[in-house]
Amino acid sequence: MAIKRGGKYVLLGIFALLSVLLGVGVGSVSLSPAQIITALAGGGEESVRSLVLSFRLPRVALAFLTGAALSVGGCVMQSALNNPLASPFGLGVSAGAGLGATAVMISGVTGALGAFLLPAAGFAGGLLTVLLALALARVFDSRLSGVTVVLTGMVISLFFSAIMDLASAMNPEYAQRIGLWQMGSFSARGWRGPAVLGPVLLVCLGFFMLRARELDILTFGDEQAQAMGVDPRRIKRSLIAVVAVLTGSAVAFSGIIGFIDLVAPHVARRIFGAGHGRSIPAGAVLGGSFMVLCDLASRTIASPREIPVGAVTALLGAPFFLYVFFRGRGR
């Protein structure tokens, strides 16, 4: 590694700043960094200010927070389950959230929650599914070993996805809306999403940082964790529950956007080292910035059409992942 650790953080900061400036600046009306900063400071033309503060910035903020949340959730899941292929979506967060949202769309209920109903249903569906997967995994394996949890999550995910597809097929008038929600988007307007997701992310991030050492140790598996003084059973349950809350909140506002939760943690570890004290916050910034760029691509590549951001994350993420992960290996 030619670049010193301090330099890497500076580069990460520049990357984040650039992606946010690009995310806010590029679109049907292009804005220069100077215009953006003036608008943020409360100056400049009214129309520019409104574009930045009411449309572009909240969208970028939601994308950044979602990317960060998914990255952090993925990182914790992989470490807690001692499995580099584990991810919150693999454990049923996405399938459960999708089922919850589908139920709301099809039933047509609108309640006291109003605009929050769909996100709330998605969140509840995601959380309940993970808890169900955990409870089921405990029946088979009280020690909650990584493989059992991953397999149980996978089976429940597939099962719930099938129910969702079935519901969608039987209600063709909602199929398109369900399909779009499943593919994820940051087009929800306003500050509602960031205002909820921001604080949730901060609290969860604090929770995981307090357990960074335990997470390091858990990557060696349950047996070695116990030998090093960490009771894997107790801590895993709380870690997975908090991951479900975090990623469920992210999915609630933007739908299901795959790949970041699996890939961003690996890239962060590769660049900043495996230690969670560094790889969790660095992964959050990396995942957030990457998501902003993916969202930018999703709304500009085929403009004025928007392509689903989930497709972009996979299209850009897969080659990038292969490059970072396998660089310097094999021949």
Partner 1 sequence: MLVTDNISCGYGGEMVVRDVSFSVPEGGRLVILGPNGCGKTTLLRALMGILPHSGSVSVDGQGTERLSARERGRLMALMPQMGEISFTYTVMETVLMGRYVHMERNLFASHSARDIQAAEEQLHALGLWDERDRPITKLSGGQLQRVLLARTFAQEPKVILLDEPTNHLDLRYQTELVEELRRWTSMPGRAAVGVFHDLDLALAFADTVLLMDGGRSVYFGPAEGLDLKKLSRVFGMDVPGYMRASRERWERLEEGNGNI
| Phi/psi at 129 (5° precision) | -65, -40
Q: Closest separation between CB of residue 53 and partner 1, Å?
A: 33
Q: Please, are residues 281 and 212 in contact by the beta-carbon 8 Å criterion?
A: no
Task: Write each residue from 52 to 91 as x if it is in contact with partner 1 (CB under 8 A), else as -, in one continuous string.
Answer: ---------------------------x--xxx-------
By the rule CB under 8 A, 198 interacts with partner 1: no
Binding of residue 228 to partner 1 (CB under 8 A)? yes
Residue 193 corresponds to which tokens in the numbers above?
A: 């999403």
Longest dimension (CA), the chain: 63
Using CB under 8 A, count the residues that bind partner 1: 30
- Among 254, 277, 237, CA closest to 194: 254
Q: Does 224 bind partner 1 (CB under 8 A)?
A: yes
Stretches 95-103, 110-118, 220-228, 305-313: which one binds partner 1 (CB under 8 A)?
A: 220-228
Whole-angstrom Cα Rg for the chain: 20
Residue 233 token pair: 């059973």
CB neighbour burial string for 87-110, b if at least 16 within 10 angstroms, e if fewer: bbbbbbbbbbbbbbbbbbbbeeee
Q: Segment 262-301, which members bind partner 1 (CB under 8 A)?
A: 269-270, 273-275, 277
Residue 285 vs residues 94, 305, 312: alpha-carbon distances, Å: 22, 28, 18
Residue 210 interacts with partner 1 (CB under 8 A)? yes
Task: Figure out which of the listed residues 27, 44, 198, 221 binds partner 1, where binding follows CB under 8 A.
Answer: 221
Binders in 141-160 for partner 1, by CB under 8 A: none
Q: Under the criterion CB under 8 A, does residue 130 sit at the interface with partner 1?
A: no
Is the torsion defined by CA of 144, 150, 156, 160 positive or negative?
A: positive
Closer to partner 1 by CB, 15 or 220: give it.
220
Q: Give the binding range for partner 1 (CB under 8 A) out of 6-14, 180-188, 218-226, 252-260.
A: 218-226
Binding site for partner 1 (CB under 8 A): 79, 82-84, 206, 209-210, 212-214, 216-217, 219-224, 226-231, 269-270, 273-275, 277
